[in-house]
């Protein structure tokens, strides 16, 4: 296993400018397809989350629905998969949740990742597969 900034068994949202990401990187649409088909590699980095957060409501809804439907699949894998979502932005704590600043605009992570997010380290937020 490589030495990336991620915890197995959780969604890891990382600022790609500050954190080490997995070599295997896929766009959000491909991640959705892999998750639906139960074809997820052990270690994966999902790119393009900024577009999902900034306005692609249809893709965001598809991502969230798929993550919720496949939660048991993910939690049942042994070893647990390592899933990163990479963004080019800073995280800001907002009450019980986090926003990410991308190109001067703030976007809430809660609509995708729920309210259980925790800051692991600067530039790195984690949440369970139960979004």
The pLDDT value recorded for residue 95 is: 87
- What's the confidence (pLDDT) of residue 61? 97
> For residue 2, what pLDDT is reported?
67
Residue 51 is classified by DSSP as H
pLDDT tens digits, 68-86: 999 999 999 999 999 999 9
Nearest alpha carbon to residue 91 among 77, 102, 103: 102
Report residues of the chain scoring pLDDT below 70: 1-2
Using DSSP bridges, classify how beta strands 10-15 and 43-47 pair: parallel, antiparallel or unpaired.
unpaired
**Distance separating alpha carbons of residues 63 and 81, to the nearest angstrom:** 17
Give pTM, 2 decimals: 0.95
């Amino acid at each position: 296993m490589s030495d990336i900034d991620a915890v197995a068994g959780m969604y890891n949202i990382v600022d790609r400018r500050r954190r080490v990401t997995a070599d295997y990187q896929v766009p959000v649409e491909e991640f959705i397809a892999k998750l639906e088909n139960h074809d997820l590699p052990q270690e994966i980095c999902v790119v393009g989350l900024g577009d999902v957060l900034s306005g692609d409501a249809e893709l965001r809804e598809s991502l969230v629905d798929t993550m919720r439907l496949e939660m048991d699949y993910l939690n049942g894998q042994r070893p647990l998969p390592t899933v990163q979502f990479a963004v080019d932005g800073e995280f800001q704590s907002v009450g019980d949740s986090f926003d990410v600043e991308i190109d001067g605009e703030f976007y809430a992570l809660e609509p995708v990742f729920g309210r259980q997010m925790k800051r692991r380290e600067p530039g790195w937020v984690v949440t369970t597969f139960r979004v």
